[in-house]
Amino acid sequence: MKILVRNALLRSFAPGRPHTEHADILVSGDTIDTVAPAGSLPDDPQTQVIDATGHLVMPGLINAHFHSPVNHLKGSLPSLPLEIFMLYESPNLPGLKPSPRFAYVRTLLAAAEMLKLGTTSVQDDAFFVPQPTPEIIDAVMQAYADCGIRARLALDQSNLPELGKLPYLAEALPAELRNSLAAPPPADTSELLACTRHLIETWHGKSGGRLMAAVSCSAPQRVSDDYLAALDDLSKAHDLPFYVHILETRTQRVLGNVRGRSLVQDFAARGALSDRCNVIHAIWMDDADYDLIAAAGACVAHNPISNLRLGSGVMPFRRLRERGITIALGTDEAIADDSVNMWAVAKMAGLIHNIADPDYARWPQAAEVLACLFTGGARAMRQAGRIGAIAPGMQADLIMLDLDTLAFTPLNDLDRQLVYCENGSSVRLTMVAGAIIARDGKLLTIDEPALRAEARSLAAALAGAGQTEQAAAPYLPYYRDMYLRAAAADLGMLRAVPHKDWTA
């Protein structure tokens, strides 16, 4: 099957190509076959022709960090700091255990949103409560197989009790609550590793390579040495990205200080920091931490909207860029963004760092944000040279935007208007691996009204909904004390923007 996209304004993001060009793009199977001057490629009866006159063609957006299991919970929580947010987010209540069908449907919810808005690739660092099973993993991957998005899935599971992951709590909690947090998680190390092996063996490379596995340890403080080493071995053996959340919050910086070394240093000393790593958030780090990440060649997944939603702070963008650290962009989960819209993430990445540094020469430029989105995203997925640009030999993951919209009228500066004006409403076509997945606002792979109706009824039927507040209540005062104590600690760094009177 061949598709000829004719007479587009092309922003290819391919090295060596012009910034923009008027072009025809011939797609053959799942690959970009030819990019040639507009009007120069002949069509034939076997080729489907798409007239792109008046439209921009560019690579599909890459969501480098996401967690699908809370797709049905968008908007359900107020803004709270991560440690308190997690008390409410997905407690281990029997009534919240998903059926495989529920996991399938909720996975499709955000995939549908991403595809309609032009996101063609996603890295899903999925956590399952109480634990992953082969059936649930299969349901999530089947959803990605069916909807047509390019997806990597990892299992973000801790194998340690909750108590050791947070500072101060062990001494503050009464015995009954302390004992409950000292209990091991439902699945042990061998069960968790068996699930990751199932994911790799069953799904990695399927759907013509569109579906892929990754490995996740969630965070250094959440896993034992033997589990971390086994995950790293799997990542190495199969050349898979290794997802790890490090120093998202001030409280996590305090935890490292209490233990005697930062969580980045801890992770590196345990031998797991490598160029396969996606270090997620990387906010409360010092220069030595960033030096370690740069020396290892690891990428950082930057989620500026989630970081604001949870009040985590602002990653020092320029410090990372100065060290040559690859930055990719992500939404994080749909309960902490909650729109799963990479245009909004790009805009926030293009704005938030302006208040972090008075020297405007160091503020991110639009082209730099777009480079994070495409080049950074492709590299984080270990798909550099396959996605993130439009050039012969690349995977045909592309989107077509109508330039006759308010976002681009008049067209003054394409890159700035992509970052600061577009919100996904100009996207007219989404193609993944050569297949047209969405056209003129309609998904071709999903019956969206039926999906929405089923998601509503499945969510309403969840027996555990409404019990989360009750489950969190006994812990809340202790978590709040812990959080405020960590907030008051002098860490020698600031990654937030507190109001301060000039005279104070």
Q: Name the site residues for Zn ion (rule: CB under 5 A).
A: 332
Decide whether 332 or 397 has the Cβ nearer to Zn ion: 332
Closest CB 66 distance from Zn ion, rounded Å: 8
Query: Measured between alpha carbons, how far is 333 from 55 in angstroms, rounded to an integer?
Result: 31
Closest CB 127 distance from Zn ion, rounded Å: 9
Amino acid, res. 66: F
Decide whether 335 or 443 has the Cβ nearer to Zn ion: 335
- Residue labelled with tokens 């809370």: 70
Closest CB 101 distance from Zn ion, rounded Å: 25
Could you tell me if 71 and 334 are in contact, meaning their C-beta atoms sit under 8 angstroms apart? yes
Closest CB 6 distance from Zn ion, rounded Å: 40
Closest CB 222 distance from Zn ion, rounded Å: 12
3-state DSSP call for residue 260?
coil
3-state DSSP call for residue 14?
coil
Q: Closest Cα to residue 400, out of 152, 187, 116?
A: 116
Decide whether 150 or 281 has the Cβ nearer to Zn ion: 281
Question: 39: phi > 0 → left, psi -120 to 50 → alpha, else beta; which?
Answer: left
Closest CB 133 distance from Zn ion, rounded Å: 21
Decide whether 30 or 125 has the Cβ nearer to Zn ion: 125
Decide whether 83 or 332 has the Cβ nearer to Zn ion: 332
Decide whether 7 or 252 has the Cβ nearer to Zn ion: 252
Could you tell me if 335 and 77 are in contact, meaning their C-beta atoms sit under 8 angstroms apart? yes
Closest CB 461 distance from Zn ion, rounded Å: 27
Query: Measured between alpha carbons, how far is 34 from 29 in angstroms, rounded to an integer?
Result: 12
Query: Measured between alpha carbons, how far is 75 from 315 in angstroms, rounded to an integer?
Result: 24
Decide: residue 106, CB within 10 A, 0-12 exposed, 13-18 middle, 19+ buried.
buried
Q: Where are the alpha helices (DSSP H) in 409-488?
A: 414-420, 448-460, 468-472, 476-488
Q: Closest Cα to residue 10, out of 370, 352, 400?
A: 400
Looking at the DSSP assignment, which residues form a beta bridge with residue 32? 27
Decide whether 67 or 428 has the Cβ nearer to Zn ion: 67
Decide whether 30 or 332 has the Cβ nearer to Zn ion: 332
Closest CB 376 distance from Zn ion, rounded Å: 17
Amino acid, res. 127: F
Q: Closest Cα to residue 462, out of 129, 96, 187, 146?
A: 96
Q: Closest Cα to residue 248, out of 336, 368, 123, 153?
A: 336
Contacts of 199 (CB under 8 A, 6+ apart): 137, 141, 153, 154, 155, 213
Decide whether 278 or 395 has the Cβ nearer to Zn ion: 278
Decide whether 332 or 337 has the Cβ nearer to Zn ion: 332
Closest CB 303 distance from Zn ion, rounded Å: 7
Closest CB 243 distance from Zn ion, rounded Å: 8
Closest CB 365 distance from Zn ion, rounded Å: 27
Decide whether 219 or 396 has the Cβ nearer to Zn ion: 219
Contacts of 474 (CB under 8 A, 6+ apart): 177
Closest CB 309 distance from Zn ion, rounded Å: 12
Decide whether 41 or 61 has the Cβ nearer to Zn ion: 61
Supply angle C-alpha 180, 186, 188, rounded to 5.
Answer: 120
Phi, psi of 335 (to 5 degrees): -100, -5
- Residue labelled with tokens 């007239």: 51
Q: Closest Cα to residue 328, out of 214, 228, 168, 405?
A: 214
What's the distance, Cα to Cα, between the start and end of the chain in Å? 68
- Residue labelled with tokens 């008046």: 54
Decide whether 162 or 332 has the Cβ nearer to Zn ion: 332
CA torsion through residues 157, 172, 498, 472, sign? positive
Query: Measured between alpha carbons, how far is 500 from 17 in angstroms, rounded to an integer?
Result: 47
Query: Minimal CB distance to Zn ion: which residue?
Result: 332
Q: Which two tokens stand for residue 444?
A: 């071709």
Closest CB 470 distance from Zn ion, rounded Å: 26
